């Protein structure tokens, strides 16, 4: 009976996943059936709530970037987020072991809520919702079409991303081994996404739910090419950590790096292309084992690059695809994109100047094409200070994590977050769930490092049901030191 239920659950999961990849809207009924089957399979197999939360967290980090795959109107990864959070809360209640939430994260979340409440109590008025007034106050010469969304729903969506996703990762990443596995799975999901973008652009097979934008730019399994670009760029440092871990991991890391760079190329994103190049360079220098290898291969790669750029048209093709050069239609798309961003920035500034303390509401959290201006427009100075508080807490977590055994993973995660924050000056991705996976892992790795220091042992103290303590990992990911029985 147990095997039959497990087979039924697995079969339905495969059908649901296949239908989602095909781009179909599955509807609430299918999601409900899948949830019932999964619960039945868990009950039949005797799986604990902690194990259910761990499994759901693994599936979450793999699929979180694939927001172009929709289930009942929402991203496919939301199903696993609900399962992971539900399992985490249930386990915490039953085991009477609450999840330790970083104070900076919770303070920032409360500050965002305060800004939203102030914006609701003292609304911006019709002046900032009227197209003519916005156009006049921002001195724009073209019409500006504002998207009217609910402030409450926008706030809930943002808080789910900002607080719930890191809490799930903190609970799931309770050991060094689990943190590494979650980071590897997140990287693998980004590689799959980039691979779909590459196959779309090369015309091998079309797996994306959407058609190619402008005939050349692929969004892969996301809703927009810029999502593909940023996700791939953020995964470059975590993929490069694989290089040097072992011969097999080195091959996987090189293949993943090539695929992620191909995904950035397929996206046609200018900011993504620059971010990807910076991510490769900084990661190669920041991580010691990569720095040693880079010094050995850099001269050969430099000479090969010079030959390719001087005697082939590869350089022109790359610049043309990522819209950093070219003419004709490409130049027109660049001008159109620049003009739209210029408009959005002017509107965001007008909204911030009208309500500098608490902003005009979180309905404009994704409008300004600059995450810092979006914070000021939606939540004013309160939101910006809250975000800086979050970054301060994250910096402290990074400092504590670098003192532990997972220095390479912490360094890669730090570079990944830096790529997002730098890219944010020219992009609007602030409230998306996948952005907070790596910060959640950094908080989790800091917690693991602190626990190992507190216990004074060479292994991670595991609080998971059925989880054995992980062996100590040498600094910079050297061979594990496994105690030999007497």
Return phi, psi of residue 206, to 5°.
-105, 105
Q: How many Å apart are CA 128 and CA 354, to the nearest integer?
A: 8
| Close Cβ partners of 300 (under 8 Å, ≥ 6 residues apart) | none
What pLDDT is recorded for position 260? 95
Return phi, psi of residue 473, to 5°.
-105, 130
What pLDDT is recorded for position 72? 61
What pLDDT is recorded for position 40? 57
**For every one of its 486 residues, what pLDDT tens digit does the chain have, with 9 covering 90 and above?**
445 444 444 555 555 545 444 444 444 445 555 555 555 555 555 667 788 888 889 999 999 999 888 766 677 788 888 888 888 888 888 777 777 889 999 999 999 999 999 988 888 664 454 443 444 344 444 444 444 567 788 888 899 899 999 999 999 998 999 999 999 999 999 999 999 999 988 888 888 888 776 667 888 899 889 999 999 999 999 999 999 899 999 999 999 999 999 999 998 888 888 899 899 999 998 888 888 777 666 666 666 566 555 555 556 656 656 555 555 445 556 666 677 777 888 888 888 998 899 999 898 888 888 999 999 999 999 999 999 999 999 999 999 999 888 899 999 999 999 999 999 988 889 999 999 999 999 999 999 998 877 765 444 433 443 333 343 444 444 444 444 443
What pLDDT is recorded for position 300? 60
């Amino acid at each position: 009976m147990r095997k039959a239920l497990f087979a039924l659950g697995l079969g339905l999961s495969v059908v649901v996943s296949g239908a989602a990849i095909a781009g179909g809207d599955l509807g609430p009924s299918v999601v409900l059936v899948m949830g019932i089957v999964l619960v039945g399979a868990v009950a039949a197999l005797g799986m604990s709530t902690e194990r259910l939360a761990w499994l759901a967290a693994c599936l979450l980090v793999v699929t979180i970037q694939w927001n172009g795959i929709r289930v009942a109107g929402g991203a496919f990864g939301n199903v696993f987020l609900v399962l992971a959070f539900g399992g985490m809360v249930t386990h915490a209640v039953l085991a009477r072991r609450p999840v330790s939430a970083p104070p900076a994260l919770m303070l920032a979340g409360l500050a965002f809520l305060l800004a939203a409440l102030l914006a609701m109590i003292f609304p911006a008025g019709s002046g900032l919702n009227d197209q003519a007034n916005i156009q006049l106050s921002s001195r724009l010469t073209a019409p500006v079409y504002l998207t009217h969304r609910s402030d409450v729903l926008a706030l809930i969506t943002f808080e789910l991303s900002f607080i719930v996703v890191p809490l799930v990762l903190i609970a799931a990443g309770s050991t060094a081994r689990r943190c590494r596995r979650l980071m590897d799975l997140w990287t693998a999901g980004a590689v799959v996404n980039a691979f779909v973008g590459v196959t779309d652009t090369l015309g091998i097979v079309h797996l994306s739910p959407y058609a190619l934008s402008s005939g050349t730019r692929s969004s892969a399994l996301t809703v927009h090419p810029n999502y593909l670009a940023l996700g791939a760029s953020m995964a470059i440092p975590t993929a490069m950590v694989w290089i040097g871990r072992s011969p097999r991991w080195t091959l996987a890391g090189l293949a993943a790096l090539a695929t992620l760079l191909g995904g950035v190329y397929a996206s046609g994103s200018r900011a993504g292309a620059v971010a990807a190049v910076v991510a490769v360079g900084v990661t190669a220098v920041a991580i010691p084992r990569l720095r040693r290898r880079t010094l050995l291969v850099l001269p050969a790669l430099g000479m090969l690059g010079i030959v390719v750029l001087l005697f082939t048209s590869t350089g022109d093709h790359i610049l043309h695809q990522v819209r950093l050069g070219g003419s004709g239609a490409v130049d027109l798309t660049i001008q159109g994109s620049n003009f739209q961003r210029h408009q959005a920035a002017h509107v965001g500034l007008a909204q911030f100047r009208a309500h500098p303390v608490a902003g005009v509401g979180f309905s404009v959290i994704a409008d300004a094409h600059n995450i810092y201006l979006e914070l000021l427009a939606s939540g004013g100075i309160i939101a910006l200070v809250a975000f800086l508080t979050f970054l301060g807490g994250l910096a402290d977590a990074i400092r504590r994590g670098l003192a532990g055994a997972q220095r390479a993973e912490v360094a890669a995660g730090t570079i990944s977050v830096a790529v997002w924050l730098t890219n944010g000056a020219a992009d609007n991705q602030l409230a998306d769930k996948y952005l907070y996976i790596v910060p959640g892992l950094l908080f989790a790795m800091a917690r693991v490092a602190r626990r190992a220091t507190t216990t004074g042992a060479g292994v991670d103290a595991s609080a998971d049901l059925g989880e054995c303590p992980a062996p100590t990992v040498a600094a910079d990911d050297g061979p594990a030191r496994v105690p030999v029985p007497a």
